[in-house]
Structure 1
């Protein structure tokens, strides 16, 4: 009986031993397999570096049409003012007043009474827009245009003088001088009639009055230029015109800018420069000349 019972016990042990052996073999095999996977570098597709879109279909030695390049007019202005020893007619602070407005409005239409050493700068700051200069000295136009033929300048004639300023101030109080309309057909003595057609037909976003000559009694003076700038602004169909007057330390520029551009429209004064923002009066003909 004892010998008979021994066989089943041996069979159980044998089965358990085989099971344990298989289990150890399975664990050992799994461990080796995972270890080999972690030590073997993963095979990934090759890295392809693509050039930027703007450079994909161009030769490395050529610049594509989309390359940014400083315009020749701006380059010429930069070189000129870097190498010039001539002091601009306006100070840095005065120039900054107008340049800030140009920064917001350009490219735009910019009319400048006067042609000077700063004209190339104004034209460059209004890059892409139209800048026209009005000058009373024909020989000076030829001299400046000889250096900078890209500037658009026209010769104009003024029929008033500084010593007539007081009389013209009284003339400006007449009803015909506050009537809004095309300045070409105005009967006000202050209206400048001899400007090129472009000056009358274009809707100006900015107007700078830095001419004509006004530093002696027989000079043309800026009475009519200031008045004309103000009436051009009032006669535009809609919107506002920024008008700048330089040399307001002088009596004519001071009094006429306040009278015809209006203190109520003045936005800023910096040094000898005043900035006015004049709205259109055509949408409300009952609007007062000055606010």
Structure 2
């Protein structure tokens, strides 16, 4: 998402931003071509967005490039900062978004790649949860159309081994609403109520900070993402975890999102496809 050192604006300045722009144009060109081939004689209104705080974009027809997307394209073409995920890593999530959007997309972390994720899920609801209040204000000043909330973590990377042991207890293998879970790894009250109430189609875990012992780490974010996926009424949730080259992200994603649900691994990104555990009684926490 953002650089690991707060206040440091040195992002990887590589040709990936041009690749991202190309992806945006190709996706919307494809959408426009598909829609134009079946357009009636009069314009069709675009489907309403799921965003409860929509930006005042006067988009009269579906085959018009949304102003927010245009702003995102201009941002990346004129900016020297680029997302930390590589082209191949982004392509994994993009492939799923292309199939499922517009959908409900929850992202742990807010950063310079956030406008990209929101634009790729145009017409859907993309929500970002972030640990740093000042960072939220800074990003929303530049991109007021994003939907972001503050989240509180009470863990530290230094306690990861202890939390892993806790997560192997029986109460942490029970699938239920994170708010009432007895597992100490569940984010019970750190998120806004509405985040718990939505059934998320995609969840990206790319935060909180986890590169030093005093950082909160992604232990609870990973566990809670898996619990939300299993607790949905039906269907499946695509969960992505970034930075799996690090110990916490590697071990916790394998343990709580389950290697049996691992769909793809590309670079530092893992993609898990987790089915609802509500539709089949007795489904084990991890597939055997």
1:114 to 101, 109, 112: 109
CA separation in 1, counterparts of 2:278 and 2:67? 40
Deviation at 1:70? 1.2
Q: TM-score, normalized by length of structure 1?
A: 0.77
CA separation in 2, counterparts of 1:67 and 1:131? 19
The count of aligned residue pairs is: 232
- RMSD in angstroms over aligned alpha carbons? 1.6
Query: Is the 2:241–2:270 contact (alpha carbons within 8 Å) kept by the matching residues of 1?
Result: yes
Structure 1 pair 66/279, CA: closer, same or farther in 2 (3 Å)? Answer: closer
> Which residue matches 2:125?
130
Which of the pair has more CA radius of gyration? 1
- Give matches, 1:224-239, under 5 Å: 224-239=220-235
Secondary structure of 1:154's partner? strand
CA separation in 2, counterparts of 1:66 and 1:230? 37
> Which residue matches 1:223?
219
Deviation at 1:54? 5.3
Query: Is the 1:212–1:221 contact (alpha carbons within 8 Å) kept by the matching residues of 2?
Result: yes
> Which residue matches 1:206?
202
CA separation in 1, counterparts of 2:62 and 2:146? 26
Query: Is the 1:180–1:285 contact (alpha carbons within 8 Å) kept by the matching residues of 2?
Result: no
User: Which residues of structure 2 form unaligned runs of 5+?
Assistant: 1-39, 44-59
User: Which residues of structure 1 form unaligned runs of 5+?
Assistant: 1-51, 56-64
Structure 1 pair 287/154, CA: closer, same or farther in 2 (3 Å)? Answer: same
Secondary structure of 1:131's partner? strand
Structure 1 pair 120/259, CA: closer, same or farther in 2 (3 Å)? Answer: same
Query: Is the 1:190–1:224 contact (alpha carbons within 8 Å) kept by the matching residues of 2?
Result: yes
Structure 1 stretches of 4+ moved >2 Å = 52-55, 65-69
1:253 to 249, 258, 268: 249
> Which residue matches 2:88?
93
Which structure ranks higher in relative contact order (CA pairs < 8 Å, sequence separation ≥ 6)?
Answer: 2
> Which residue matches 2:140?
145
Deviation at 1:66? 5.1
